[in-house]
Amino acid sequence: MKAFLFDLDGVIVDTAHFHYQAWRRLANEKLGFDISEEFNENLKGVSRTESLERILAHGNTTLDEGTKAAYATLKNEWYVELINKMTPDDILPGVKVFLEKTRQSGIKIGLGSVSKNAKPILEKIGIVEDFDVIIDGTKISKGKPDPEVFLKGAQELNIAPHECVVFEDAVAGIEAGKRAGMKTVGIGQAEVLKEADIVFPNLVNVEIFELLQALF
Ligand code: G6P
Ligand code: MG
């Protein structure tokens, strides 16, 4: 195994919750309905514009293109307000140690996120330097479950997809990893991430040797 490719939101930091908060505020204040945490699972890993489309369909609402663009921008402004307060203390438990163990094992480290805010978040939490490659929403044209983001990561590292492992909290992200021909590690609940090769609640105490033994 030569590379580990990490999703950002919900794997490295708890920003999946901030995305939900900002979309929920938009649904409540502008669209006149609520979105549940359960529905929010469908938004994880999905691009900003596609997320809004899914929310509108969920509420049986249609909007003209101009209003959609304005609402997507508004959601992002609220989201950026939330992420601006982030510090290195917001790195999820177990992540730093796991990245160190990965590095020590000689395995490359990549980021595969659909978010256009990924780079500023990595800077705020001080871990840009830990990544050999960063693929974010500014470098891709298709969101997850399309495999583009992970295939690009493997390509930039010059490593074959089957030698990569994807770490994901999203159903769409696990699908993207599988479609890329990679092994997938779910971070979250096994009931939600049914298609993952293996699922952990978080990266605390995950041992690389044991993980690779379970995957191969
Ligand atoms: C990640 C998150 C999604 C988010 C997407 C785009 O994939 O899991 O919830 O919609 O990035 O993020 P952005 O910051 O560009 O709106
Ligand atoms: Mg995620």
Mean pLDDT of the chain: 97
Q: Among residues 97, 109, 107, 126, which one has the least CA distance to residue 6?
A: 109
**Dihedral angle over CA of 170, 184, 180, 146, nearest 10:** 0
Q: What pLDDT is recorded for position 190?
A: 97
Q: Is 7 a catalytic residue?
A: yes
Amino acid identity of residue 196, one-letter, is A
Q: How far is the CA of 15 from the centre of ligand 1 (A)?
A: 9
The tally of CA atoms less than 13 A away on the side-chain side of residue 129 is 2
Tokens of 113: 């996120």
CA distance 45 to 169: 8
pLDDT tens digits, one per residue of 115-138:
999 999 999 999 999 999 999 999
Ligand 1: residue whose CA is nearest its atom 13: 115
Task: For residue 6, name the pLDDT band (cuts at 50, 70, 90).
Answer: very high
pTM score, two decimals?
0.96
Q: How far is the CA of 48 from the centre of ligand 1 (A)?
A: 6
